[in-house]
Amino acid sequence: MAPSALDPVSIIEKTSSPTPQLTRLDANSPTTTSSAIIEVLHRDGGVIVENLFSTSLAAQIKSELKPYFDTDRVDKSGFFPETTQRASGLIGISPGCVEYLTTPLLMEVVNEVLSSTYSYWLGEELRTVTRCVAAITKSTKENGATVVIPGSHTWGPERSPKEHETVPAELDIGGALIFFGNTYHAGGRNITTDQARETVGLFFTKGFYRQAENQYLMVPVEKARGLSNRVKRLLGYGISPPGNGFYQYQDPMRMLYGVEDEEIVEL
């Protein structure tokens, strides 16, 4: 996550054709169900969900993460520009991010998209990563909003992205961009002199895949003890059925935390 912007990917080709659009749905509308979001996701590869969480929660998250932004070190690898500030291990440092993580509508979408019982037709690729980037400050084209190419999740390796196909995912505070990991996306360029773009990114994958950020080190056993069982499992402390992630041939939720519920996996 970063309160400034990343340069767009260098492989983009420039043309002057019309720009496509991202669909916007309002989480406060009764018609914005997980099914409605997923329908757009499968069609476009990404969707903007306005009002995913409240402006007060956004303010809480912003306050909780400020000390970490302020003390972040320059990324020497060169992946992030020197103007970028980041925070990691969000679930261990921000109760507000825990609340964002467990937003019911977001959980419904993630669980359905990444469920092991989801049906895939011959030739369709398995969705392995679902991402949600939410704004805790207003995100605009000018201050570096994430750019996305709708429909690019269906492309093969022979298809290269073009600049006219990109769409800035402009977000009001509490709004979010939900998209597949294989949808072309990049950080926009912040051309302002007085604005920072602050977003909080949560990336979800199936439980049997290796996490990009090691949650067991960022949120170790004792720190996770104070979190809800749902959050513990989202961090990876439960078994991914039928048996991935066991501890002493038992479900870690039972062995480490004494949990006995309907989600405990018996080996």
Cα–Cα distance measured from residue 179 to residue 132, given in angstroms and rounded to the nearest whole number: 7
Closest CA to 223 of 93, 135, 104: 93
Fold of the domain spanning 24-206: Jelly Rolls (2.60.120)
What is the pTM assigned to this prediction?
0.85
Interatomic CA distance for residues 142 and 15, integer angstroms? 20
- Domain-wise residue ranges, the chain: 24-206, 211-267
The CA-CA-CA angle for residues 149, 154, 155, to 5°, reads: 80
Question: Which pLDDT score is estimated for 83?
Answer: 74
Spatial distance between the Cα atoms of 233 and 74, rounded to a whole number of angstroms: 32
Work out the number of other CB atoms within 10 angstroms of the CB of residue 241.
12
The span from the CA of 46 to the CA of 39, in Å, is: 10
Tens digits of pLDDT across the chain (267 residues): 444 333 444 444 444 555 578 999 999 999 999 999 999 999 999 999 999 999 999 999 999 999 999 998 877 776 677 778 889 999 999 999 999 999 999 999 999 998 765 454 445 555 568 999 999 999 999 999 999 999 999 998 899 999 889 999 999 999 999 999 999 999 898 999 899 899 999 999 988 888 999 999 999 999 999 999 999 999 999 999 889 999 999 999 999 999 999 999 999
Residue 176: in which H helix or E strand, if any?
strand 176-180
- For residue 84, the one-letter residue type is T
Helix, strand, coil % over all residues of the chain, rounded to 5: 30, 15, 55
Cα separations in angstroms, 127 against 105, 113, 151, 182: 19, 7, 14, 8
HSE-CB at 256 with a 13 A cutoff on CA atoms is 22
